[in-house]
């Protein structure tokens, strides 16, 4: 029987969560959506499904120390450090060649470090169903979230015929993947009942995904083979940097999922959120809101304010008066104020800071 390995992708910089998220403190090590750092929540969610010794985190080399520090007590998972960020196809491929070295017949469960999922028990049950599908053949398995509303910030999966039912969970063929749609198109998707949000979680056998990378992105595959041949040798770090730097930045969706023949989508009926902006944090923490829809963290005083997220600390008072539908995030050296509907544009502020030489605020 195949052995299951978990790969947590934790390489993002979290530009949309500036000023709280910085180069040395990326969003996955912050308690943005709850009391614990997001990567620690992700590791905990795997308890009872994949043992810690078969769990690895792939991240940028500059983020290894803060990620390990954020995990708290107990044995840590293995951390694989990327010298350069090259998107999810390279990240997943690098993890695959590491796993193949010890377990060429293994199965991989791949998941981002920055999602909020409840309840953990249902998450594990859905994952087990997908593992059964992946282990029986050559299918690449992804997970579809039934859309409760027509979101324009997520990609969608157009499901095809029902292939089977595993553990009472329906599994479908995939017709195609759709990019983030316009509002009217998203409404059509939801009304049809044939579309899922693309969760960004995957399951497959190691040999299957590596074969797909070989066929669809041969330059990436050649680099991975070169890297794999030097793992645990004196030249590993040198070869990793040399092979990784020229790689194209390409997601696993573009590199493999949109080209592969055998794809299945498992219907995931747990609560799911891809925490992509401060606006999504406000939505996730709405249970903490006051009678006017405000979520306030830290020392805050709000007067005639509604539907606003204020993030501060206990050492600096933030007062807000007569405003509505805002994001306010205060740190010791920078403050963000923006309308909720402009929360996605925070990344553009970070890019301007980079261009204008304000690196001390990044």
Q: 45 pLDDT exceeds 70?
A: yes
Domain identity same for 174 and 308: no
Q: Which one of 227, 245, 276 terminates a domain?
A: 276
Q: Please, what is the average pLDDT of the chain?
A: 95
Domain identity same for 96 and 156: yes
Domain identity same for 108 and 230: yes
Q: Which one of 276, 299, 318 terminates a domain?
A: 276
The closest alpha carbon to 17, from 345, 273, 307, belongs to 345
Preceding omega of 19 cis (within 30 degrees of 0) = yes
- Domain count across the chain: 2
Q: What is the pLDDT of residue 1?
A: 59
Domain identity same for 27 and 176: yes
Percentage of the chain modeled with pLDDT above 90: 89
Q: What is the pLDDT of residue 276?
A: 84
Domain identity same for 31 and 170: yes
Q: Is 115 within 8 Å of 44 (Cβ atoms)?
A: no
d(CA 242, CA 7): 23
Domain identity same for 61 and 105: yes
Quote the DSSP letter at residue 206. H
Domain that holds residue 217: 4-276
Structure-block tokens of residue 109:
């469960």
The closest alpha carbon to 51, from 6, 95, 97, 96, belongs to 6
Identify the CATH number of the domain in which residue 25 sits: 3.90.550.10
Domain identity same for 148 and 238: yes
Domain identity same for 271 and 294: no
Summarised one tens digit per residue, pLDDT across range 214-272 is: 999 999 999 999 999 999 999 999 999 999 999 999 999 999 999 999 999 999 999 99
DSSP 207-274: HHHHHHHHHH-HHHHHHHHHHHTTTTSTTHHHHHHHHHTT-----HIIIIITT-S-EEEEEE-SEEEE
Structure-block tokens of residue 133:
């599908």
Q: Which one of 246, 276, 306 terminates a domain?
A: 276
Q: Is 306 within 8 Å of 292 (Cβ atoms)?
A: yes
H/E stretch holding 347 reads helix 346-355
Domain identity same for 103 and 233: yes
User: What's the whole-number mean pLDDT along residues 15-41?
Assistant: 90
Domain identity same for 258 and 164: yes
Q: 33 pLDDT exceeds 90?
A: no
Domain identity same for 259 and 305: no
Domain identity same for 215 and 297: no
The closest alpha carbon to 255, from 39, 91, 16, 30, belongs to 91
User: What's the whole-number mean pLDDT along residues 136-140?
Assistant: 94
């Amino acid at each position: 029987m195949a052995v299951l390995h978990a790969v947590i992708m934790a390489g993002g910089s979290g530009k949309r969560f500036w000023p709280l998220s910085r180069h040395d403190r990326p969003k996955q090590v912050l308690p943005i959506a709850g009391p614990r750092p997001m990567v620690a929540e992700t590791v905990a969610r795997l308890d009872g499904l994949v043992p810690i010794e078969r769990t690895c985190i792939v991240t940028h080399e500059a983020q290894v120390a803060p990620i390990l520090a954020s995990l708290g007590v107990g044995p840590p998972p293995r951390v694989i450090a990327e010298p350069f960020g090259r998107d999810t196809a390279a990240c997943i491929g690098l993890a695959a060649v590491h796993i193949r070295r010890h377990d060429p017949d293994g199965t991989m469960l791949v998941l981002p470090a920055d999602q909020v999922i409840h309840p953990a028990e249902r998450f594990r049950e859905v994952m087990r169903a997908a593992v059964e599908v992946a282990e029986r053949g050559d299918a690449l398995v992804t997970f579809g979230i039934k859309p409760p509303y027509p979101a324009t910030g997520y990609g969608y999966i157009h499901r095809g015929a029902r292939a089977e039912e595993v553990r009472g969970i329906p599994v479908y063929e995939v017709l195609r993947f759709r990019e983030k749609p316009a509002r009217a198109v998203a409404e059509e998707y939801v009304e049809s009942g044939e579309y899922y949000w693309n969760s960004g979680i995957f399951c497959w056998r190691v040999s299957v995904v590596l074969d797909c990378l070989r066929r669809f992105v041969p330059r990436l595959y050649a680099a991975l083979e070169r890297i794999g041949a030097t793992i645990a040798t004196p030249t590993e770090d040198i070869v990793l940097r040399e092979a990784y730097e020229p790689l194209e930045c390409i997601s696993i969706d573009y590199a493999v999922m949109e080209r592969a023949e055998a794809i299945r989508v498992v219907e995931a009926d747990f609560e799911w959120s891809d925490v992509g902006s401060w606006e999504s944090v406000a939505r996730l923490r709405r249970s903490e809101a006051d009678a006017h829809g405000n979520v306030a963290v830290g020392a805050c005083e709000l007067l005639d304010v509604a539907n606003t997220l204020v993030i501060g600390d206990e050492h600096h008072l933030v007062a807000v008066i007569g405003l509505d539908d805002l994001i306010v995030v205060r740190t010791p050296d920078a403050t963000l104020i923006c309308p909720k509907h402009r929360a996605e544009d925070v990344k553009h502020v970070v890019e301007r800071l980079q261009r204008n030489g304000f690196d001390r605020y990044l």
